[in-house]
Amino acid sequence: MRFDFKTTALAAVALCALGAQAQTGPIKVGFMLPYTGTYASLGNMIESGFKLYVQQQGGRLGGREIQYVKVDDESEPAKGTDNVNKLIKRDHVDVLVGSVHSGVALAMAKAAKDNDTLLIVPNAGAAAITGPLCAANIVRSSFTNWQPAYAMGKVAAEGFGQRKGAKRAITITWNYAAGTESVKGFTEAFEQGGGKVVKELSLPFPGVEFQALLTEIAAQKPDAVYAFFAGGGAVKFVKDYAAAGLSKTIPLYGPGFLTDGTLEAQGAAAQGMLTTLHYADNLDTPRNNAFRKAFALTYKANADVYAVQGFDAAQILSAGLNAVKGDLTQRDALTAAMRKVTIDSPRGRFTISPAGNPVQDIYLREVKGGNNEYRAVAIKALADPARGCKL
Ligand code: BEZ
């Protein structure tokens, strides 16, 4: 076979040029989020927060323009694999950002692992994502379901201010990964603190037929109720709980999702509620004040925890891309930088564990008017145990 040096050299130069061009053109971010259904507002807030950070950087991260494509995952785990493959195989995204629902995010994590696609999880707290499924190309900007739940179990057992520690609690949630893991986290700390969960109530996601379960709570008369619901379901549950007259006698506790992004719709029913989360609206820091002001100016709406998680997902991506000057082929350096970073978040500074999950303060908040107001640090720098992660 004759070796044509000139043609081969020209082809090599052309390939290099193509490679170089590919590393200076736009980076495609694929949002896989719920834009319909009970979690629709959560998806929209995440997207808005992410875009706000990118906009503040002039539309570029690591020197490269950011482009977006999106898929509505409908919070439907059964469609999760097909939906994520639209972004990976049809749209050829460079980075996946999603999702809100733990079941959907589990499907995304499996696909991200199989295809070695970068994945930033901006909400879903499923333990397996930073547990047995953990991988260098997967990182979270949010929480695990265990984190705020464990903190609430501690507060409920100890009491706070006028609230005495509870001894007997009932839990209530949607019957899927986020709900069951949240209840488990609460129970772990509550029972370590001397309490006892006497009954676990649940209903299928995203059902809102709470009446029979509220009747059961009224009959059992526990000292406290712990509930995991979010979005539209949280609005309905908190209102139904108050309408049933239960909020006067049995304190309703939960992870902050129960009252975040929901207060306008919940109105009087949520006033005075205590919840635990990695964010509080009125954290009086320059970073949070600037973030809330910019968010309100851009979107004519108040930011919530989901907007913060979207904003921080973009910050994590930015840290990775800056470290490699936008060169996605330097994958190891990029993913290492995404874990090494300390994020200057509106929630306060946080680091990322080897498993890829934020190590962060969990706040105790109280609902006052339209805000989840900071009351105390419930647990400082709480790290998820990351059971089963082999990284
Ligand atoms: C979840 O499915 O992991 C989840 C959904 C909404 C709020 C918090 C967690």
Query: CA quadruple 56, 304, 107, 385: dihedral positive or negative?
Result: positive
Query: Best substitution site from 32, 99, 100, 143 to test ligand 1's pocket, by max atoms within 8 Å of Cβ?
Result: 100
pLDDT band at 14 (very low <50, low <70, confident <90, very high): very low
- Give the closest residue (by CA) to ligand 1 atom 6: 230
pLDDT band at 22 (very low <50, low <70, confident <90, very high): low
**Predicted structure pTM score:** 0.95
The answer to whether the CB of 32 falls within 8 A of the CB of 104 is: yes
Q: Which residue has the tokens 């209903």?
A: 203
- Please indicate whether residue 33, judged by its CB atom, sits closer than 6 Å to ligand 1: no
The answer to whether the CB of 307 falls within 8 A of the CB of 263 is: no
Percent of the chain with pLDDT over 70: 94
Query: Best substitution site from 123, 279, 362 to test ligand 1's pocket, by max atoms within 8 Å of Cβ?
Result: 123
* CA gap 20, 193 in Å, rounded: 58
Alpha carbon of 101 to ligand 1 centroid (Å) = 5
| Residues paired with 345 in a beta bridge | 348
Query: CA quadruple 332, 338, 339, 340: dihedral positive or negative?
Result: positive
- Give the closest residue (by CA) to ligand 1 atom 3: 124
CA angle 209, 214, 215 (to 5 degrees): 115
For position 12, what pLDDT does the model report?
Answer: 45
User: How much helix, strand and coil, in percent to the nearest 5, is found in the chain?
Assistant: 45, 25, 30
Query: CA quadruple 36, 185, 235, 345: dihedral positive or negative?
Result: negative
- Please indicate whether residue 230, judged by its CB atom, sits closer than 6 Å to ligand 1: yes
Query: Best substitution site from 38, 39, 101 to test ligand 1's pocket, by max atoms within 8 Å of Cβ?
Result: 101
Write the pLDDT tens digit of every residue in 45-77: 999 999 999 999 999 999 999 999 999 999 999
Alpha-carbon distances, residue 12 vs 20, 22, 241, 328, 329 (angstroms): 12, 15, 68, 20, 17
Write the pLDDT tens digit of every residue in 144-169: 999 999 999 999 999 999 999 999 99
Alpha carbon of 230 to ligand 1 centroid (Å) = 7
